[in-house]
Chains A and B, each alone.
Chain A
């Protein structure tokens, strides 16, 4: 029998015994608050960019942090925590834009009908801009979540080091992953909409 079990990761449900629920709970509460203060605005910003709806973004972000509050083990490790928050938030945001896309198509048809009747130039600009946004969201929704996340964080102006910390990856691999994500984004965009941007 050469197998040695080096460590056992208990299931989270059983990890917090009533004995340490008191002090542990307080520590977790303080950590949660710290993470919330540090990341909530940026998470909301990222989700607003993704969904185009600040209200919805705030709802999703609040949901993510309340989920985090229910995971004391995760809260114990700050390094794990941040990537988890962004991953869960981005996934929820991507789900939201995918389920929004059908409604958006209906709205686009309605807008097109309005445009048909009133051809004012600023109305046209508005419709075209809305159309471009919808396309970008659609393509982001079709990407792998991590690729979408990378593009969103980069668009948010984060440095590679910050992106790496946020995603829990090596800073040296950000360039490679970003280049791939951009190639994938462009490929999917062209496949849907051609070169018409």
Chain B
């Protein structure tokens, strides 16, 4: 039986020979110690070199984070928005800073920062729904003119995460169809709400 060349044995190691040749090489290796030695040498070297080359593979860059994980590829991204549109609700792009949006936050301390970051570009007001704003973020407020509470119609944040961008949907709540604005973010989650006909007690 003929001996196999180095190249053929190398291809055999990578299973790159046609099936019938794979069988013949395999049978030959059981009989021929010379080819067996060569095969062992080539296979050892191939795995050694392959292991070394794999050192380079680890250099593939790690994805640099930045976005919140829940934002990435959210399956229901914009789903809520689409549903709301289908329901024929009025929609307005939030340009929160331009509108001089007044953002109110329910649990004051943790949320103020996020609300502030949302409104930062145009420097509008962060006003608090219930109470004591000056104590919460005095430094920020001192640099900005505040809108009198009587004129404000604040949004109420529904969670503690900062809102980067979103749309405002005009919705009708309950059987009495009380009009309200809801901020939906790019993941389709409702993030803040305000009653349209909200009247401040002040």
Contact = CB atoms under 8 A, between A and B. Distances in A.
Interface in B51-90: 51-61
B7 A129 contact: no
B59 A179 contact: no
A160 interface: yes
B7 A49 contact: no
Given A49-B57, A49-B59, A133-B59, A179 B7 contact: yes
A172 B58 CA distance: 31
Contacts of B5: 176
A151 interface: yes
B10 A186 contact: no
A197 B42 contact: no
B11 A136 contact: no
Interface residues of B, number: 26
Given A48-B60, A182-B45, A182-B46, A189 B52 contact: yes
A146 to B, nearest CB: 15
B97 to A, nearest CB: 34
Contacts of B46: 182
A175 B45 contact: no
Interface residues of A, number: 31
B161 interface: no
A32 B76 CA distance: 38
A175 B11 contact: yes
Contacts of B45: 182-183, 186
A120 interface: no
B14 interface: yes
Given A176-B7, A179-B7, A182-B46, A129 B53 contact: no
Contacts of A48: 59-61
A156 to B, nearest CB: 9
Contacts of B50: 154-155
A149 B39 CA distance: 23
Contacts of A172: 7
A52 interface: yes
A175 B48 contact: no
B159 interface: no
Interface in B1-51: 5-11, 14, 16, 42, 45-46, 48-51
Interface string A158-197: 0110000000000011111111001101100100000001
A135 B56 CA distance: 10
Please indicate which of the listed interface residues A135, A152, A172 has the most CB atoms of chain B within 10 Å of its own CB.
Answer: A172
A135 B42 CA distance: 22
Contacts of B14: 160, 175, 178
B52 A132 contact: yes
Contacts of A176: 5-7, 10
A52 B61 CA distance: 9
Interface of A: 48-50, 52, 54, 129, 132-133, 135-137, 151-152, 154-155, 159-160, 172-179, 182-183, 185-186, 189, 197
27 contacts: A48-B60, A48-B61, A49-B56, A49-B59, A49-B60, A54-B60, A132-B52, A133-B59, A136-B52, A137-B56, A155-B50, A155-B53, A155-B56, A155-B57, A160-B14, A160-B16, A173-B7, A175-B8, A175-B9, A175-B10, A176-B7, A179-B6, A182-B10, A182-B42, A182-B46, A185-B49, A197-B51
The 4 closest A-B pairs by CB, nearest first: A176-B7, A175-B11, A175-B7, A155-B53
Interface of B: 5-11, 14, 16, 42, 45-46, 48-61
